[in-house]
């Protein structure tokens, strides 16, 4: 970029957030080769850190070389053969996207819709089909700010494999892949993990591994080939698959180390406290929250735009005057909902005061 | 990474190379949102810079959010329908990979093999089938250090679409996509562009666009959806597809600006001079070059391991004593060929002296 004054934003939208400083500093380290022993050791550390934030002991837990949406694609292309029955819970944009992906893989999609702003109901989703191969659900819907109860779905999944989008939950709220029965999970780095976008943390259980597609339609995201690339956490010989995005992996490892040093429980409590205070503050301002009570994500708050207020003008005002980004709503809620993310390092009480104060100014004066 | 002494390598293997300093500095800039107007302007600049290094005016020229191998996948999934005839020139690993990808897309693959170390012969490849949909060739084979004559293939392509892998040529040697008749091209950032791995510079002509797959098997790499994501260089409204890897794109834009400031011809001359001097120096040491004379890449030199010398020991010695990475050979040449890359900022006369001196020491003393 050539502009002489550097732009520094408060990234309070649905992601990316401002990265943890450790993640940014790591990007300035001398680059390593993708087969360098020092890098391989770093990759192993990143995979182990990911196991912690996923809440899993899955050997096959790794950062895929794509953004979160690439992780979604990896999940479906490796698991779905033409004709497989896939039940998808749709309570927002990312559930809809799951349907699109499953269809491209030739699945017989059983789409189960829920009102946007409401969670996926465990009873309804698990009784939608007698014997699906996969039940797919978004844990934290980025489009609506809603958390669904994955644990309750896992308890009722039966023989189905449970496929979960944890893009906006990982590193921010409770996520216990093994305990909840998540078989395939993908996430992103640019939300609560506090890293720039570009990687998709991925995990797959042995149970799902045995039922995967032998030769998926994707070479790039073929998990069968990716096993050797990370040594499958077993010290096996690494084999070349593709050139790992080394800088991004080193950055992810640094952020994970930071998160685990702070303590996963502490990090989650920090997200919860910031979200609680923000949501209380918005209601105190007379605004109405969008997501259903009891299912609100602390890391991503959705709030209705007050009548007579121009959503786009407010966002432009915040960007101009405060260098602050907040998100618009999605699709039918584009101009009637705002999405405010306090993720990663932004989950702190100062950010809450800042966004509440700036938003009040913007609503009154934009 | 937690080790107290930071490791700084000379990355003289087949890539990644050490990035241009501008590319690294850019990664330390405050992160921007993927819909931020300042980022969108940067993305436009990156796309325009890519047009320069591709030698194209294609509107659809953009960095895909994946490594070079993801670019290869995008090329095939967007162009190949089941039953399409795809002629693939195979003179190394990446030609082989093209066959795998084309087969996964259901292509009728006509594989035309050439000896490793030799170029793809234009006459042979273009007469391998009377009416293929696609002729696919690697411009600069990273596994063997060989350049093939894309211009001559383009002149003979007839109605076929010409699909070219420019991973190791872009930003280092002459590449004239429009003049040579390249219809679909993909590349990587971690070779001569001097950026960390993680993006795939991609270009597609209008002619190929009209013959693309309407709804490809990949959602993530669906070019039809990606058009809106970059505004197709026409100032159109951006639409959300996936979260761009903003940090990497900003880094790419900075490297492209650096390359264009230096001058593309100067950058290429610098790569040529370094490669020429390295290859002459290796021969003067009594070593034998692997790639066919007249088709040697200046940016990636392949040289035979002398009889009685242990390839792995030499590479370990270089890493240990000089913090220098050079590459092993690929497949049947794993222990009999070295690959030495002088790419991006490493294409300079000092690097030549350094690698020649260190390699001489290693051969004698490892």
Pairing of strands A85-90, A108-113: parallel
The angle formed by the CA atoms of residues B67, B73 and B78, to the nearest 5 degrees, is: 130
A27 lies within 8 A of chain B by CB: yes
Q: For B283-299, how does the pLDDT look when each residue is reduced to its tens digit (9 = 90+)? A: 999 999 999 999 999 99
Pairing of strands B140-141, B146-147: antiparallel
Mean local confidence (pLDDT), B10-16: 98
A:299-328 residues touching chain B, CB 8 A cutoff: 319, 325
At A303, phi and psi to the nearest 5? -140, 140
B100 lies within 8 A of chain A by CB: yes
At B163, phi and psi to the nearest 5? -110, 120
Find chain A residues with C-beta within 8 A of B24's C-beta.
27-28, 31
- Cα separation, B4 vs A325, in Å, equals 37
Whether residues B218 and A244 touch (CB distance < 8 A) is answered with no
The pLDDT-based confidence of B260 (bands split at 50, 70, 90) is very high
What ipTM does the predicted assembly reach? 0.95
B73 lies within 8 A of chain A by CB: yes
Burial class (CB in 10 A: 0-12, 13-18, 19+), B156: middle
Find chain A residues with C-beta within 8 A of B68's C-beta.
242-243
pLDDT score recorded for residue A5: 84
- Which tokens is A142 given? 């980025």
B28 three-class SS: coil
Q: For B142-155, how does the pLDDT look when each residue is reduced to its tens digit (9 = 90+)? A: 999 999 999 999 99
Share of chain B above pLDDT 90, in %: 93
| DSSP per-residue codes, A172-241 | TS---HHHHT-SEEE--SSSTT---S--EEEEE-HHHHTTS-SS-S-STT-HHHHHHHHGGGTTPPP--S
Q: Write out the H or E segment, with its range, that includes residue A137.
A: strand A134-138
Nearest to B105 by CA among B132, B130, B84: B84
- Closest Cα of chain A to B101: distance in Å? 6
The interaxial angle of helices A349-365 and A311-322, nearest 10 deg, is 120
> Which residue among B105, B188, B248 sits closest to A198, beta carbon to beta carbon?
B248
* CA-atom Rg of chain B in angstroms: 20
Q: For B198-240, how does the pLDDT look when each residue is reduced to its tens digit (9 = 90+)? A: 999 999 999 999 999 999 999 999 999 877 777 654 455 677 8
Pairing of strands A184-186, A161-165: parallel
- Closest Cα of chain A to B35: distance in Å? 9
- Cα separation, A75 vs A286, in Å, equals 42
A45 is in an annotated binding site: no
Whether residues B42 and A248 touch (CB distance < 8 A) is answered with no
Instruction: Find out whether B165 and B186 touch, Cβ atoms under 8 Å.
Output: yes
Mean local confidence (pLDDT), B160-187: 98
Find chain B residues with C-beta within 8 A of A7's C-beta.
30, 32, 36, 38
- Closest Cα of chain A to B228: distance in Å? 16
- Closest Cα of chain A to B217: distance in Å? 5
Find chain A residues with C-beta within 8 A of B7's C-beta.
30, 32, 36, 38
The pLDDT-based confidence of B1 (bands split at 50, 70, 90) is very low
Nearest to A311 by CA among A285, A302, A191, A141: A302
A:117-176 residues touching chain B, CB 8 A cutoff: none
Find chain B residues with C-beta within 8 A of A215's C-beta.
104
At B296, phi and psi to the nearest 5? -80, 135
pLDDT score recorded for residue A226: 80
Please tell me which residue of chain A has the smallest CA distance to B167. Answer: A243
Mean local confidence (pLDDT), B338-365: 98
Does the pLDDT value for residue B324 go beyond 70? yes
B336 lies within 8 A of chain A by CB: no
Interface test with A, best of B48, B101, B196 (most A CBs within 10 A): B196
B30 three-class SS: coil
pLDDT score recorded for residue A232: 58
Nearest to A289 by CA among B110, B78, A298, A3: A298
- Closest Cα of chain A to B190: distance in Å? 9
Instruction: Find out whether B346 and B17 touch, Cβ atoms under 8 Å.
Output: yes
> Which residue among B242, B253, B325 sits closest to A67, beta carbon to beta carbon?
B242
Fold that domain A10-16+264-365 belongs to in CATH: 3.90.1150
- Which tokens is A260 given? 């685990």
The CATH classification number of A21-261 equals 3.40.640.10
Per residue of chain A (366 residues), what is the pLDDT tens digit? 455 689 999 999 999 999 999 999 999 999 999 999 999 999 999 999 999 999 999 999 999 999 999 999 999 999 999 999 999 999 999 999 999 999 999 999 999 999 999 999 999 999 999 999 999 999 999 999 999 999 999 999 999 999 999 999 999 999 999 999 999 999 999 999 999 999 999 999 999 999 999 999 999 999 998 877 776 544 556 778 899 999 999 999 999 999 999 999 999 999 999 999 999 999 999 999 999 999 999 999 999 999 999 999 999 999 999 999 999 999 999 999 999 999 999 999 999 999 999 999 999 999
A24 lies within 8 A of chain B by CB: yes
**Could you state, in order of their start, the residue ranges of all structural domains in chain A?**
10-16+264-365, 21-261
pLDDT score recorded for residue B4: 66
- Cα separation, B170 vs B300, in Å, equals 12
- Cα separation, B146 vs B148, in Å, equals 7
Instruction: Find out whether A178 and A56 touch, Cβ atoms under 8 Å.
Output: yes
Interface test with B, best of A195, A218, A249 (most B CBs within 10 A): A218
The CATH classification number of B10-16+263-365 equals 3.90.1150.10
- Cα separation, A272 vs A253, in Å, equals 24
- Cα separation, A111 vs A131, in Å, equals 14
Q: What is the mean pLDDT of chain B?
A: 95
B168 three-class SS: coil
């Amino acid at each position: 970029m050539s502009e002489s004054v550097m732009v520094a934003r408060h990234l309070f939208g649905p992601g990316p957030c401002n990265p943890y400083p450790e993640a940014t500093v790591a990007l300035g380290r001398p680059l390593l080769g993708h087969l360098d022993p020092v890098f391989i050791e770093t990759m192993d550390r990143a995979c182990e850190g990911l196991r912690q934030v996923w809440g899993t002991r899955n050997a096959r837990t790794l950062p895929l070389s794509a953004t979160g949406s690439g992780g979604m694609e990896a999940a479906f292309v490796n698991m779905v053969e033409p004709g497989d029955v896939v039940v998808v819970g749709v309570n927002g944009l990312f559930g809809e996207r799951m349907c699109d992906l499953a269809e491209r893989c030739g699945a017989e999609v059983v789409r189960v819709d829920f009102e946007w702003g409401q969670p996926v109901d465990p009873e309804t989703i698990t009784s939608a089909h007698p014997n699906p191969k996969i039940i797919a659900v978004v844990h934290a819907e980025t489009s609506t700010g809603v958390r669904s109860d994955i644990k309750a779905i896992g308890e009722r999944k039966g023989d189905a494999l449970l496929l979960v989008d944890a893009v906006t939950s990982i590193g921010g709220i409770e996520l216990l892949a093994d305990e909840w029965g998540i078989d395939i999970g993908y996430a992103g780095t640019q939300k609560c993990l506090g890293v720039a976008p570009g990687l998709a943390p991925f995990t797959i259980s042995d149970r799902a591994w045995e039922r995967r597609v032998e030769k998926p339609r994707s070479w790039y995201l073929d998990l069968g080939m990716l096993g050797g690339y990370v040594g499958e956490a077993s010290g096996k010989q690494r084999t070349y698959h593709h050139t790992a995005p080394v800088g991004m992996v080193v950055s992810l490892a640094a952020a994970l180390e930071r998160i685990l040093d702070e303590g996963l429980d502490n990090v989650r409590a920090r997200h919860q406290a910031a979200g609680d205070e923000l949501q209380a503050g918005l209601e105190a301002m007379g605004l109405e929250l969008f997501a259903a009570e009891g299912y609100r994500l602390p890391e991503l708050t959705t709030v209705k735009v007050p009548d007579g207020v121009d959503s786009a003008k407010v966002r432009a005002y915040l960007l101009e005057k405060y260098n602050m980004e907040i998100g618009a709503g999605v699709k039918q809620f584009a101009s009637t909902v705002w999405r405010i993310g306090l993720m990663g390092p932004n989950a702190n009480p100062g950010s809450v005061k800042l966004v509440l104060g700036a938003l009040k100014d913007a609503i009154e004066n934009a």
